[in-house]
Amino acid sequence: MDTIIRNAVTDPRTGRVDIGIRDGRIAALAPGLEADAGTAIHDAGGGFAFAGFVETHVHLDKACILDRAPAAADPAAAISGVRAAKRDFTAEDVQARAERVLDMMIAQGTTLLRTHVEVDPVVGLAGLRGVQAAAASRAWGIETEICVFPQDGLTNLPGTEALLRQALAQGATVLGACPYTDSDPMAQLDILFAMAAEFDVDLDMHLDFDLDPNLSTLEAVIARTEAQGWQDRVTLGHVNRLSAVGPEALHPMFDRLAAAGIALTALPSTDLFLMGGEADKCMPRGVSPVHTGCTHGVRCSLATNNVLNPFTPFGDGSALRMAHLYAHIARIGDADGLTTCFDMVSDGATRLMNRPPRPIEPGAPATLVILDATSPVDAVRRLTPPLLAFHHGHLTLTNPRPRLHPRGPESV
């Protein structure tokens, strides 16, 4: 074997095993695997092994621009700040900033992501070009999927539709939407659903980025999804309005979303930062309760959204941090709930992206991460770091546990 990882936990209910890797795939999974003279050996020390975190919604093209656009007070200010800054974006500039975030994510144990990229007459295809270059340069450690979308509207910005078509023809594989910034939101939905069918791509929309309890936009998306037969191919990000309605409206809506095969992504850091700023007391959290959606059969994920820009002036690329933060917001402390939080940044996020399962078993690609945790629940509770990571058998990360150096009583 090329590599053996000793003393890993792949299932908290069972004991430690060794993971043998050969030619980029998992070749064996058993205690006490025998090593050849040239086999690289790594000790997981009882760490939890899985296929790595999955980031379903991030904006690599507009990350790390706080020096050009300061933190915003509300969504409209954030959109305006980025709109002004992106006039000066170049492909090279986008690539450098995107690579910085991809490096953060690799270091935090993410192995698969979907990034949203803005396309319009202001920025043209510079964002797409820069992100494509960054994705290629970091393909040794992370797989990147690109969703192009009209952040500043579609019907109100002539030329945007043509640019979206070019982007889909030139490598983007998912189509996004942002109807709340459009002068004609329903027309935008009609155009983008038709374009998704034409190019046979999934849709991943920004939706209802406010706390109005009116769920009519969701109704419109459900109707179009069912009419077009696009079940299981539509994802909605933010949907903060779901946090503004009571159980009598929330639970039937989750049932309808599940029946229509529409997935949801909550973006805890951004949504917590930008929602409810108009309140002078008892400020609402404004984060969609996606863990409840999971109990209704809705495919759900938790994601980063923005890193170091007006929408979110924080970020280190950690998907686990989003699960940890969401558990605080949703007041989840039980093992089942924390397992769901972990699932929404790993296997559940993989399902949302319509990717095949990524088990740790013989024959599977040797893309895996070892956390300094005994289980997913332990990882979310303690926000544990990755110790090792591999991408198709290639070692991409080593992060040894800290060593303490205690002194005896006589030296104090």
Total length of the chain: 412
Q: Is pLDDT above 70 for 411?
A: no
247-278 pLDDT, tens digit each: 999 999 999 999 999 999 999 999 999 999 88
β-strands 394-398, 386-391 pairing: antiparallel
pLDDT at 124: 97
Neighbour tally for 140: CB within 10 Å:
11
pLDDT at 73: 86
- Residue 309: helix, strand or coil by DSSP? strand
Task: Using a pLDDT cut of 90, give the percent of the chain over it.
Answer: 96
- Residue 172: helix, strand or coil by DSSP? coil
Task: Using a pLDDT cut of 70, give the percent of the chain over it.
Answer: 100
Q: How confident is the model at residue 408 (pLDDT cuts 50, 70, 90)?
A: confident
Q: What is the rounded average pLDDT of the residues 77-86?
A: 94
Mean pLDDT score of the chain, rounded to an integer? 97
pLDDT at 412: 57
Q: What is the rounded average pLDDT of the residues 271-295?
A: 95
- Residue 143: helix, strand or coil by DSSP? strand
194-240 pLDDT, tens digit each: 999 999 999 999 999 999 999 999 999 999 999 999 999 999 999 99
Residue 345 · residue 54 · CB < 8 Å: yes
- Spell out the long-range contacts of 272-279 with Cβ–Cβ below 8 A and sequence spacing 24 or more: 272/325, 272/329, 273/311, 273/312, 273/313, 273/314, 274/72, 274/74, 274/75, 274/78, 274/311, 275/210, 275/211, 275/240, 275/243, 276/211, 277/73, 277/74, 278/74
Neighbour tally for 184: CB within 10 Å:
14
CA dihedral 125, 114, 362, 8 (to 10 degrees): 130
pLDDT at 57: 98
353-404 pLDDT, tens digit each: 999 999 999 999 999 999 999 999 999 999 999 999 999 999 999 999 999 9
Neighbour tally for 242: CB within 10 Å:
28
β-strands 53-58, 48-50 pairing: unpaired
pLDDT at 12: 93
**How far are the Cα atoms of 112, 221, 312, 362 from residue 251, in angstroms, in the given order?**
31, 17, 29, 40
Q: Which residues, at least 6 apart from 223, have a Cβ–Cβ distance to it below 8 Å?
A: none
Residue of 386, 340, 366, 345 lying closest to 47 (CA atoms): 386
118-151 pLDDT, tens digit each: 999 999 999 999 999 999 999 999 999 999 999 9
Q: Is pLDDT above 60 for 303?
A: yes
- The DSSP string of 54-76 is EEEEE-STT-S-TTTSPPPSSHH
Q: What whole-number distance in Å separates Cα of residue 262 and Cα of residue 277? A: 29
Residue type, 394: H
